[in-house]
Chain A
């Protein structure tokens, strides 16, 4: 078995060596068993007590939300840090007298009465039971130091560094940005908020809501070992995960255009505007007046609550560009024209005699001021805004649903597919809709020719908003493609590297006869900038050629509403811009100047970029 060599052990010598190793093995295993028995069976109670005394304390470190930037990288929302005095109510003393004493001491430090402390706690528990109650934000460092030093007097009290949303430009783009707030109990159950805890902040509206998953960071966690007094034991840091800040969101909004639109609109009261790229649906600017300061929503006072939520007429939180429902007046006429042309009801050059009014049955439908425009064809009818021309088209299509089909295709009365949560109910009146109401006895009459005549000029029961009209004009401008309107452009990390580019494909595509499109655009161009056009007073001197249409909508219970829609530049438009002003009178009176402000901002900037050799599209 072994090599024949004197130095190699023979059988008996090998067995001695094996026996020695075996003996060592027995001794070693015996040591282990003995030690194990000693630890677990003999001293187990002691170690179990020690293990139970090993307490941990967890610190959650809040991650800052990502910034929101405009398309040029200008900051629209970032964060400021603030020290918040927080109270974990579950750790308050069980004895009511002691609890009362602690709350009183705390109130003194925070300059709050005991009653106010209790009320704050109760209000917070209502929203998110179990979450730490924030008693006061923006406390000073001296208070922090005091509480840290006297930790045993204040069980459950902690000072947290929190991030508060900061809006460098106040109200600018408020409706687009939206607000953040603490997560509510029902929201915690939703799958997109998996892993969040009461007290965590999420986006509640606008882009903050729509792009919450990118903006929201990952909180950090530190778990340390503490002794029975709650003081950290040396070396007892068990886990430490640093918070991950949220990513930045870059919007399609151009801050300068937004500013121009808001400033323009603010001069006229309630209303809205939108400016959108007609090819890809990128919204360059969108605003609503009256507006609000999103920082007021963080901790609103009672007066602010009344102003923001209670006043239904002003309704500053409503984004009128996407949530309102208005008749549009004459800017609707492009839809009537398209429907009539595409269905062969008329040709672009067919002349209609406009005597200032038509009579259908017992009803009379008049031009504005009953002014007759004489012999008009399509271009002229658009230029001078002949109502009679479009009344006749409406009359011709009143039983066929052809007008409704085209309006529907172009995006009226249906969800626009906006990437923000704020989209309002709208209505495209049709024969089927009214006859159904009539059958249910909710109205006194069935669908009539008058309903369609009204719709043909954007009146009657039509309820839509600037966003939907922008889609219709976009599809006309680009030859039949309805883009998906959006404000989200891309997600960037803190270093500005692009992590994700959002892609919004067009929603629908259909054929628009190029001849019809050209004819309508010619009419709109004439209306905005030529001769007797309704918008010439405003746009006559504007250096860029545009195609535009004024609208003056009669709104029951209100003065006339002013509208203006523009496609620019003419004849190959890239951008649609629409403005409306409640009780703003004629289209050219208030809405058109707002559109002018926006277009000036867009094209001044382009001109500046060209002259400085900067980037051109």
Chain B
């Protein structure tokens, strides 16, 4: 045991060992560099793709999306580096405040938010519209992990599980009512992930899974049959049309069909500027939800697989940090963030590839949008903070 500990401690030469003084002061010394590089590569590619593919979207302003995404990226990277230097454990103490802020901000859009396509999700600020539910993903994980650690000794296992579920599902319900189905699903998944890493028994998950399956059946089959539709028409259509896109060629399935054709037509090496699907408006929302289709058509399998690999790297490093954390709170936070990133990536890319329903979940660090880019970088900043604190406390136990 002793030799094992020694080996792990010495087996990791610090990349900045020589300049550790400066690096330490800047908070760079113990950052997880593969994670940082994956995130920077993704946002860099995002800015590049937006610059290439949206030249003609805004008449007279060819670099509209490129410039704005670059500004969001710069702000996000700055936020990431700032969070790296902060001890994330403080968020545990602030859990009640964070949770209150989360619920308040996603509620306030009902009052002050501006409506886009029939749903109120964002505040209109100068230069920028802010969507609180995006930052809310991170806030939910930070607060819920605190509640889980805090309440670990109170009540029976079932009571605890029910309490965590209620705490997590309340903001999810608020977001669902905005209505923003995709983001509320991310909240549910993040809640389950924090509970999972917090040690909720497997049996409870089995019950939760069974209930969810029953719920889906009720919402999609039983309730409409009984004449009480719970989902808005477009929501249901989007959720089910991917099962048989050709039947819905004119409606929701049309978009997805076009996205699949776009990606397929990219073949091995892509069509570059000869791309038609994502250049001639066949694929909608190509700068946000369907940006992966742009990558697939323009840069082919090489480009798309490269991007997917970066996400795999991102997920691996995030998951790895759960095992390095100096305390349980860090493990829960890292686990929640890692699973949320995996879920968003899989659902969005799966939607582009025609194997997941259209839920309006952006591709982290790739889709155009200030709130999403900023929130994702802040989440990565928290991961970095967990990594830095682990190294500072010299408690790292695994080294994969």
A-side interface residues toward B, CB under 8 Å?
Answer: 1-3, 5, 7-9, 11, 13-15, 17-18, 21-22, 24-25, 28-29, 31-33, 35-37, 39-41, 43-48, 50-52, 54, 56, 223, 225, 234-236, 238-239
Contact = CB atoms under 8 A, between A and B. Distances in A.
Contacts of B301: 36-37, 40-41
B327 A1 contact: yes
A405 to B, nearest CB: 49
A348 B349 CA distance: 94
A54 B346 contact: no
Interface stretch (B132-140, B265-273, B368-376): B265-273
Given A7-B157, A18-B319, A25-B319, A39 B268 contact: no
Contacts of B315: 25, 29
Q: Most chain-B CB neighbours within 10 Å: which of A24, A35, A47?
A: A47
Contacts of A36: 263, 296, 301, 304-305, 308, 353
B264 interface: yes
Interface of B: 149, 152-153, 157, 160, 193, 196-199, 201, 249-251, 254, 258, 260-268, 271, 276-277, 280-282, 296-297, 300-301, 304-305, 308, 311-312, 315-316, 319, 322-323, 325-328, 331, 335, 338-339, 342, 346, 349-350, 353-355, 395, 397-398
A353 to B, nearest CB: 74
B251 to A, nearest CB: 6
Given A40-B304, A54-B280, 16 more contacts: A5-B153, A7-B201, A8-B152, A8-B198, A15-B323, A15-B398, A21-B193, A25-B319, A33-B305, A35-B353, A40-B296, A43-B264, A52-B276, A235-B254, A236-B250, A238-B282
Contacts of A223: 280-281
B343 to A, nearest CB: 9
Contact of B325 (A1, A29, A45, A54): A1
12 contacts: A1-B326, A8-B199, A29-B312, A36-B308, A45-B267, A48-B267, A51-B265, A51-B276, A51-B282, A54-B282, A223-B280, A234-B249
A3 B328 contact: yes
Contacts, number: 153
Contacts of B339: 21
A24 B267 CA distance: 28
Nearest to B302: A40
A28 B305 contact: no
A592 B331 CA distance: 100
B282 A32 contact: no
A86 to B, nearest CB: 24
Given A235-B250, A235-B251, A40 B263 contact: yes
B15 to A, nearest CB: 24
A225 B276 CA distance: 12
B264 A54 contact: no
A41 B268 contact: yes
B157 A44 contact: no
A274 to B, nearest CB: 41
B261 A21 contact: no
Given A47-B261, A51-B277, A41 B267 contact: yes
A255 to B, nearest CB: 38
A29 B308 contact: yes
Contacts of A48: 264-265, 267, 271
Contact of B196 (A3, A17, A54, A235): A17
Contact of A32 (B254, B322, B346): B346
A24 B346 CA distance: 11
A236 to B, nearest CB: 8
Contacts of A9: 199
B268 A44 contact: yes
Nearest to A54: B282
A301 B239 CA distance: 64
Contact of A39 (B260, B312, B335): B260
B281 A54 contact: no
Please list the 3 inter-chain residue pairs (A to B) with the smallest Cβ-Cβ separation, ordered nearest first.
A47-B264, A235-B250, A44-B267
B264 A44 contact: yes
A22 B280 contact: no
A40 B251 contact: no
Contacts of A44: 264-268
A30 B260 CA distance: 18
A68 to B, nearest CB: 27
A54 B277 contact: yes
Contacts of B249: 234-235
B296 A238 contact: no
Nearest to B297: A51
B363 to A, nearest CB: 12
Contacts of B160: 7
Contacts of A50: 261, 264-265
Contacts of B250: 234-236
Contacts of B196: 17, 21
A3 B264 CA distance: 50
Contacts of A39: 260, 263-264, 296, 353
Given A7-B199, A239-B281, A31 B157 contact: no
A594 to B, nearest CB: 50
B25 to A, nearest CB: 28
B331 A14 contact: yes
A219 to B, nearest CB: 12
Nearest to B335: A21
B319 A21 contact: yes
B148 to A, nearest CB: 9
Nearest to B315: A25
A40 B264 contact: yes
Nearest to B284: A238
A43 B260 CA distance: 11
Contacts of B304: 36, 40
A28 B251 CA distance: 28
Contacts of B193: 21
Contacts of A11: 397
Contacts of B319: 18, 21-22, 25
B349 A32 contact: yes
A409 to B, nearest CB: 45
Contacts of A45: 267
A323 B227 CA distance: 79
A37 B267 CA distance: 9
A31 B354 CA distance: 12
B228 to A, nearest CB: 29
A593 B300 CA distance: 82
A569 to B, nearest CB: 51
